[in-house]
Structure formats: C-alpha cells, structure tokens
Amino acid sequence: MPPPPPQPPPTLPKISGDPDILLDIYTHESIQFPGMNMEKNTEYGDTKRLACLGHKAYELFATEALFSKKPLLNADVLQSEIVKYCHVNMLNEFVTHYGLRDKIRCTQETKAKLKSDLETRKIWYSYMGALYLRNGTPATKAFVTRLIDPDASADQNNGGARHSSPPPQMHGHQSGGFGGQYSSTHTPSAGGGYSGYPPPPFSAPPPPSSAPPPMPNGPPPASHYGASNGPPPASYYGASNGPPPASHYGGASTGIPANQVTLALMNQTAVQRRYQVTYTQQNHGPPHMPTWYCVCYVNGEEKGHGQGKNLKQAKEQAAQMAWASMGW
C-alpha cells in the first residue's frame, strides 16, 4: 500500500485583535523620516524587540518539534535538522510562501534589500514575535510544529503526553512540507545507545557456596559501564567503539561540544581543514547599549548566526552554531 501523500504547509495564523502590531511589523524603518511621530509601543517596544522574541520562540518550538518527531531522530540528525530549519534559506522559503515580504511598506530603494539575509530574518521573526505575543504559546507552538512536521500528531501539536509504548528505532528524517526533499538515514550501531526499553528487574544473585578467590594483581576491573578492559564504551549518542564518525560537511568530529568552542579554536580548526571562515556583523539600539548580530560563513555559505550585548559574544555564538553545523 503506497504511503499517504505529504500534508501541505499549514495556513499562516492571523494576529489576534491588534491592528497596530500588524501595522508595525509591515512598516519598514526606511519610510520613517526625522521628526516623524513613531512612538514605541509601551508593551513590546518596536519590531526589533518583537524579532528578538520571535527568534527565540521559533527556535524553541522548531527544536521541540524535531525532538518529538516520530520515528525519533538520532542526535546527529537532530542537530543538523535544527540547523537546517533555523537557516536563513529555510526562513526565506517561509517568507516567500506566505507572501510576507510583499506586505512590507518601504521605500522603492529598499525593496531590493528586503531579500537580504538580515531583512528576511527580521520579517519572519517579527511575525513570530507578534504571533507569540498576541495568540499565545499553544497557537504559536501548534503552527511551528505543523510547519516543521506537517504529519505531526495532535499530541505533538498540543504538547500533550507522550505515548506510553516504547519509542521505535531511530532513523533519519524525511517528510513532506518544507525541507521534505532532504533525507538522511542513520541507523544506530548494534548494541549502542539507549534502546528505549526499561532494564530487566534486578534480582539478587544466590549466595556463593564458598569464599570468593582473592583478587588478582592484574589490570583494574571494568568500569561501571560494564565494558571490558579494552576500548572505552559507546557514548550515549549510540556510537560504536570506533573512531568518531566523519561529518557530512567537514571531516572527522573533534568531539568538542559546540558550547565550548572559542573563536580561536574555530579559526584554527578551519585553517587545518582548509576552510575559510568569515563574519558579518551589525548592531542596533542606543549607542550605550547596542545589540550585536553576527553571521558566520564557511567557504561563503552561512553556517551560523548569533546575537549578544557585544560583538565578541555575538561572533562566538555564531561560530558555535557553525561548528555544530559543520559537525566538528
């Protein structure tokens, strides 16, 4: 029996009961002139603040949707899918599909700039921020979940309880909707990782019939993981006792978590693997308290982005996301 056709992307929810917030997110700053009365909203401030809120809300719900996707994605695939759905190329697909860019009021000179990475992010995240603020968490989460996984169950959409049956075997991602043309297959190695079933009940062994022999003066016993005195046991990611798997981007994994990566380490690793790393940055806000936005490119392709109270913080966050994206 052939599988059912993929579900179409969900309808974009309307912002509930506030025409002023819609006017704000569809009005570009380019049409504001000196002396124009553009007072900040006392609740949400301006669209830049809305974009900050929408950025975090979207990434959280997208990550949770991918984490809850059935069959479960293994850790490597989960990480790459998170990067893919938060990448500006995917955001551009969303903005284009829902026609958000066409609704922006701006000067004629600005129209061409609306397709830039920075403007694309601002358009999408501003709408997500307004949706979260006015429609609430359940509506925003349900929309993002359906956007990421059109075949998601009602439990996933509503944040309900997980199924009580053991989770199925993990494999790669493939679905309809946005990003459905990408697929990957990762099968956990035999005996590696968490199987999803509870351990057998413990039963005490029978008492020995005689005193145990003395411990030999040999190598130390196996660790509490239960491995023999050989190679270290498989990690909780389900890897085998071999070398770390090669990344589908940039060579073998170093095993260093992304949140421990510094700018120096990122640049050193890129040079060793013959990759070119570049950054772009912008800042917004008052001069005494700006917010910095930074994008990290590897060989000219965007691999990470970040924001912070200073340039170093934003740059390091972008480098860490690029590190995870490259699989280093």
Q: What is the CATH number of the domain that holds 53?
A: 1.10.1520.10
Tell me: do 36 and 139 sit in the same domain: yes
Residue 84 within a domain: yes
Do 18 and 154 lie in one domain? The reply is yes
Question: Are residues 28 and 154 both part of a single domain?
Answer: yes
Over residues 207-246, the pLDDT tens digits come to: 555 555 555 555 444 443 344 444 444 333 333 344 334 4
Q: Give the predicted TM-score (pTM) of the model.
A: 0.53
The answer on 25 and 134 residing in a single domain is: yes
Q: Is residue 81 part of a domain?
A: yes
Give the residue from 124, 159, 194 where a domain finishes: 159
- Of the two residues 173 and 1, the one the predictor is more confident about is 1
Residue 23 shares a structural domain with residue 155: yes
Question: 305: helix, coil or strand?
Answer: strand
Q: What CATH number is given to the structural domain containing 326? A: 3.30.160.20
**DSSP conformational letter for 286:** -
Residue 59 domain-assigned? Answer: yes
Q: For residue 226, what are the contacts with CB-CB under 8 A and spacing of at least 6?
A: 233
Tell me how many domains the chain contains.
Answer: 2
Residue ending a domain, among 141, 159, 177, is 159
Query: Could you tell me which residues come within 8 angstroms of residue 126 by beta carbon, excluding any fewer than 6 positions away?
Result: 25, 47, 50, 51, 54
Statement to judge: residues 155 and 19 lie in one domain: yes
Look up residue 319 and give its DSSP letter: H
- pLDDT tens readout for residues 95-130: 999 999 999 999 988 888 999 999 999 999 999 999
Residue 169 resides in a domain: no
Structure tokens at 51: 């974009």
Q: Is residue 112 part of a domain?
A: yes
Q: State whether 155 and 33 are in the same domain.
A: yes
256 belongs to a structural domain: yes
Give the mean pLDDT of 291-310: 89
**Which pLDDT belongs to residue 155?**
52
Which of residues 94, 128, 159 is at a domain's end?
Answer: 159
Q: What percent of the chain has pLDDT over 90?
A: 33
In a domain, 293, yes or no: yes
Residue 91 lies in a domain: yes
pLDDT tens per residue across span 36-62: 445 567 788 888 899 999 999 999 999
Domain with 293 in it = 249-328
